[in-house]
Amino acid sequence: MSYTRLLCHIVFATKNRAPLIDDAWAADLCAYLAGAIRGIGGHPLEINAVQDHVHMLVDVKAVIALSEFMSKLKANSSAWAKAKRKGFSWQPKYGAFSVSESQVEIVRKYIRNQQQHHRKMAFDDEFRKLLRAHGIEFEEEHLWT
């Protein structure tokens, strides 16, 4: 038996970053995502959604590649969301950042406070900042396609 704890801070947006996630629906979406994560074999630690994107802290089990995990999560949740919101879909890309056990509470608080955070910083700027903080190189012209 192997013992793993693969903590990921995952961020993904609605297609074209359309503001489709209103406050009245965000809690249902987060609850659905939590159930879908468990269904894939992961463990959701924190999830929050704002108008155009979602932040999650997830313990991803080592039995599935992160790309497969995200593909299943987005496909499953997109099908559910389309039944609730006309024209809903996720942007194909996502960001996933490893989280040290010592940083779990800091990341959870960051995710919990997204509504306040985005009063000061736009999602585009936040995502670029996360990429830079984790040493991920990117080309601006390919960032949102």
Rounded to 10 deg, the angle between the 66-84 and 23-40 helix axes is 140
22: left (phi over 0), alpha (psi -120 to 50) or beta: beta
pLDDT (average), residues 111-119: 91
pLDDT of 144 reads 74
Query: In this predicted model, what pLDDT tens digit does every residue of 41-78 receive, in sequence order?
Result: 999 999 999 999 999 999 999 999 999 999 999 999 99
**9 band by pLDDT with thresholds 50, 70 and 90:** very high
Distance, in Å, from the CA atom of 92 to the CA atom of 104, rounded to the nearest integer, reads 26
Distance, in Å, from the CA atom of 35 to the CA atom of 85, rounded to the nearest integer, reads 19
Distance, in Å, from the CA atom of 140 to the CA atom of 58, rounded to the nearest integer, reads 27
Distance, in Å, from the CA atom of 92 to the CA atom of 87, rounded to the nearest integer, reads 15
7 SS3 class: strand
pLDDT of 118 reads 87
Which CATH number is 6-142 given?
A: 3.30.70.1290
Query: In this predicted model, what pLDDT tens digit does every residue of 97-113 receive, in sequence order?
Result: 999 999 999 999 999 99
**143 band by pLDDT with thresholds 50, 70 and 90:** confident
pLDDT of 142 reads 82
Distance, in Å, from the CA atom of 79 to the CA atom of 63, rounded to the nearest integer, reads 24
**137 band by pLDDT with thresholds 50, 70 and 90:** very high
pTM of the model: 0.93
pLDDT (average), residues 88-102: 95
60 SS3 class: strand
Domain-wise residue ranges, the chain: 6-142
Angstrom CA distances, 56 to 2, 5, 83, stand at: 24, 15, 22
